[in-house]
Structure 1
Amino acid sequence: MIRDTAVIGAPRARAGSSRRQRGHRNPTDAWLLWMFFGWLGLHRYYLGDWKKGLAMTLTLGGLGLWSLLDGFFLTRRLRRINSGRL
């Protein structure tokens, strides 16, 4: 009976690492998504906020108001995600 399923020589997963962790997000990509598709919330999907992205898609960016406000807070949100503080 095999008790240990680790493969010899395979890298071990670090504690706390998972697919759900958010990696580095490119600010240029986020800003371009906001400028051209902000009313659909695509920048929210890119940042990993799929629930808010879906809400923006269904309301067309809060009829533009929510999308406009996101432009003021996008840089701060990117910094928080890229520094690991969600």
Structure 2
Amino acid sequence: MDKQMVDLFLVMKQKYFAAEHLPYIRERLMQLTDEQFHSINGVELMDPTVMLLVSIFGGYLGIDRFLLGDIPMGALKLITAGGCGIWTVIDWFQIQDKARQKNFETIAQYFSILS
């Protein structure tokens, strides 16, 4: 794969991943064919900033956790009104990292499918 295309991809998508995951993603992208590389742009990633806003405005209902695919925790937050507000506040500080981790898991799964 062309190094400039990989660098451009990483610059455009770096906010979706934690800094420690970027070297692994770069390495795996360099191993892809052009066709595989273009198909990876179709992978849906969660914007951590949007997830923070969802958590702030709907976290007490568990919406943030439902969007991350953490259904049991989402249901628990919904039933307890965000753990009486405690889990909601904790998630304000953690939700962006959780979204980045989910994005990494999504793209890592995509890489394993292509291999």
TM more than 0.5 = yes
Q: 1:72: which partner in 2? A: 93
The aligned residue for residue 83 of structure 1 is 104
Aligned counterparts of 1:55 and 1:25: Cα–Cα separation in 2: 22
TM-score, scaled relative to structure 1: 0.66
CA RMSD of aligned residues (A): 1.8
- Give the structure with the larger helix fraction: 2
The offset of 1:31, in angstroms, is 1.5
Q: Percent identity?
A: 33
Residue-pair matches, total: 64
CA deviation map 1:16-51 (0-9, x unaligned)? xxxxxxx52122331221111111110000111111
Please tell me whether Structure 1 or Structure 2 has the larger radius of gyration of its CA atoms: 1
Partner of residue 80, structure 2 = 59
Secondary structure of the corresponding residue to residue 24 of structure 1 = coil
Give unmatched runs, 5+ long, in structure 1. 1-22
Superimposed CA distance per residue, residues 44-69 of structure 1 (whole angstroms, 9 cap, x where no aligned partner): 00111111000000000000001100
Segments of 4+ moved more than 6 angstroms: none
Q: List gaps (5 residues or longer) in structure 2.
A: 1-43, 109-115
